[in-house]
Structure 1
């Protein structure tokens, strides 16, 4: 058969693409604005809710994911908001984690001291490994167990959503893990201040124990400062040093996910887990914050903006979370969260006693 004429091929597009002037324009690509606006509105609502008596104990991130879940399950997430919601869960989240680096300096980490860093590192590592192992024994999905492990051992909701950039669990898993670290971190926030005298902990030891084992930064601050300024300041610094370990943990999990994919342990759609490049941005900003002095007013703005962006990401996560799917996961992950909390509290306390 003769090859088709080049003239025919050249003429074809003219006939196909020619349309009358009155024909409707091609629909524009979905805009990110509605979803970004909705996520931002929920984050702003979360900040406002903290002014309500009793709710100030919770971070805006926690309130944001609760607000997102409530909206999604009562009214539903508008279809046109989906692209912006997905953008908030990915790009906005990564930017917020990078900005977290401006809340840490090398000097703060040094201030914790060698013994303090050993306590923090061993507590984190031991808790993470224990939680993943116990999750396997309880029959909890590996990805959900990793999220609970990260949230308990590192820094609560921030660690959960950062870890999920490489774990890539379902949104319901993220919501469940955030719920676990919120519940048990809040319990620790109320119980810890009752224990220093009983456990014979001075201000330094209590601050280290709080910073090494309580889940969220806000919860550490609330608990540690109840034992005085020295305990509060040292607890906060110890917690920030613990946050620094988020970078190596996420990088390690990313490498492990890639290794599993190469050995056929993941489905084809998950065959190339992303390398968390944003973690290097986090480390770079820690370095920058260590060599230049950021004015206190600007630092306050940066901290607020970072918390707002993290709240946007969690609000978006809530907008993708189904209560029915959450309920279907049962109580085993909650039991895992409880065991992880008890482990990090007991293990870190034993290390503090041994080293102080």
Structure 2
């Protein structure tokens, strides 16, 4: 008996859908790639060697977005660069690390990271109440500052249920103040007498976004960059329990409210697992130095693409759209996380 005519009718559409997706994201990917290439070229100029391509890429992106505007045709590819390209680059970073280096963070280093996270989140929510900032917006800024920037805000909003304007404001806050920290902290490493690993721990425990940590920590050398990345990813791994805890609190608040039974499961930052898997691969497989150097160059370029995308989505005017108090909260939280983590590092005498 012949099969019905429509059994496989959807299959021819799949290649067409994929082709449409590629056409949609290609212009934005080309734009972020061009900015990354320009940043790489600028990095090679005299006097710019101390500025990483990643830092230069986000500066170019921010300038382009706020002076000219990000064209609509580039938006889909910019979003892919900011999310998928960034996470793939972080996974590749794992090939530059070994399990022995992970152990170097140690229990004391992890305790500093965890204490900083909890103190920053609590301080930000408390100060938000004192400043009269809406609780949901304060929680988003707290999560973005204490854990991992925009991705933490998006994950936290699965249980906070803030509106789109709050999410946009929170992302603008952590991007701008995280970018400021990315520029400021490397300038303070020398005056504060921080060695490479201590500076790496400080950046990993205090700067908002993963890409910002990478850009800042590598300013102090390869060892600082590797350690900053490890510290930051250890911090990212704490996102899931925090979101679960916020979900439990949200459920308790809405227990007697009608229609409040639904509860979204917190997402798992899957790229952290990929990062750890690549560390395991690097521990087991001896990668030739020539191949590894190419991987390092590719990883840096992909991170520059991601930071270019971050700049192209950073609208400085959003900080003024909801008044000054949430912006002050974001600034205070950024100053708190940097000073609190540095104080713990100094008090414990941590050196890695």
In the superposition, the TM-score normalised over structure 2's length comes to 0.71
Q: Is the 8 A contact 2:240 2:267 kept in 1?
A: no
Shift of 1:69: 2.3
Q: Which runs of 5+ in 1 are unaligned?
A: 1-26, 151-158, 197-204, 226-231
Shift of 1:105: 0.8
Is the contact made by 1:88 and 1:316 (CA closer than 8 Å) also made in structure 2?
A: yes
| Structure 1, 89-98 or 279-288: larger mean CA deviation | 89-98
Which is higher, the Rg of structure 1 or of structure 2?
Answer: 1
Does the 8 Å CA contact 1:98/1:279 hold for their aligned counterparts? Answer: yes
Tell me how far 1:189 sits from its aligned partner: 2.6
Tell whether 2:325 aligns with 1:336. Answer: no
1:134-182 alpha-carbon deviations (Å, 9 max, x no partner): 11122162222222222xxxxxxxx435545634684553343243234
1:80 CA drift (Å): 1.7
Cα distance change of structure 1 residues 125 and 246 upon mapping to structure 2, 3 Å threshold: closer
Q: In the TM superposition, what whole-angstrom CA distance separates every residue of 1:227-277 from its partner, at most 9, and x where no partner exists?
A: xxxxx85x5564354244145224435655766787798999994654333
Q: CA deviation at 1:337?
A: 0.7
Residue 218 of structure 1 and its aligned partner are, at CA, apart by: 5.3
Matched, 1:309 2:302: yes
Does residue 138 (structure 1) correspond to residue 131 (structure 2)? The answer is no
Instruction: Spell out the pairing of 1:1-356 with structure 2 (5 A cutoff).
Output: 31-51=24-44, 55-110=48-103, 112=104, 117-139=106-128, 141-150=138-147, 159-160=148-149, 163=152, 166-167=155-156, 170=167, 173-196=170-193, 206-214=195-203, 215=207, 216-217=213-214, 219-220=216-217, 222-223=219-220, 233=223, 235=224, 238-246=227-235, 248-253=237-242, 255=244, 271=264, 274-328=267-321, 329-352=326-349
Q: Deviations over 1:174-199 (max 9, x none)?
A: 34324323433543433332344xxx
2:172 touches 2:318 (CA, 8 Å); kept in 1?
no
- RMSD over aligned CA atoms reads 3.6
C-alpha distance in 1 between matches for 2:267 and 2:201:
29
Measure the CA separation in 1 of the matches of 2:297 and 2:246: 33
Change beyond 3 A, Cα 1:76–1:208: closer
Q: In the aligned structure 1, how far is the partner of 2:85 from the partner of 2:261?
A: 27
